[in-house]
Amino acid sequence: MLALNQYIDHTILKSTTLIADIEKLCAEARQYDFAAVCVPPNFVKKAKSLLEGTAVKVATVIGFPFGYSAVEAKIAETVLAMVDGADELDVVVNISAIKNGDWVYLANEINHIMPVIKSKNKIIKIIIESGVLTDDEIIKCCELYGVAGIDYLKTSTGYAEKGATIEAVKLFRLHLPEHVQIKASGGIRDHVFAQQLIDAGATRLGCSASVAIVQGAKGGSDY
């Protein structure tokens, strides 16, 4: 098993993010050797330059946080993020389409976004906002995105009332193909909960309280 720091995407996604916040985030990612940083799209280029010469990946979000951007808009965001140097794309799918049972729309969405990301050999993490979904909806997502061949299914944006849960991670693991990994995010603030999510099957954790978590302390906000 990896050391805890290697599971963490050190994250800041608030709308008021400052360049100073990104500098601090990347300095901490360097210090603690986190798996990745996850930053707003407009800070990808900055984060990439700050992390040059390290193994820390740069992730960003697409269609964030509600997922109802047009497919064409998500593709444009994706292309621009990759041009700026993003290694990993955390894509919010159309949550409204999930709630309305429009699986044809969702299949079309992923079938258009996936080739763009995979043509550049980048990592795709699909965010489904498990806290607002029923178990049946989560299972259907696991089936759809598992077949699509994504790299990770991610629990949450951190903006819904309910973030990552052990139950959701276990449900993901039960219904996803073995090759699809799980990213838990939203409300992970302490070492104990982080370890419980890993034990349940998560292989990445999206956290803003990353430093406190690896130090075994509690602190921080969702993002």
The contacts of residue 100 (CB under 8 Å, 6+ apart) are none
Measuring CA to CA, which residue among 134, 174, 162 is closest to residue 153? Answer: 174
* DSSP annotation of 37: E
Identify the DSSP state of 93. P
Give the pairing of strands 36-39 and 204-207.
unpaired
Residue type at position 108: N
Kindly list the catalytic residues.
90, 154, 183
Residue 202 near residue 20, CB atoms below 8 Å: no
Residues whose CB is less than 8 angstroms from the CB of residue 207 and which lie 6 or more positions away in sequence, other chains included: 8, 9, 10, 11, 185, 188, 189, 194, 213, 220
Compute the distance between CA of residue 129 and CA of residue 22 in angstroms, rounded to an integer: 25
Residues 6+ apart with CB under 8 A from 5: 32, 33, 34, 35, 210, 214
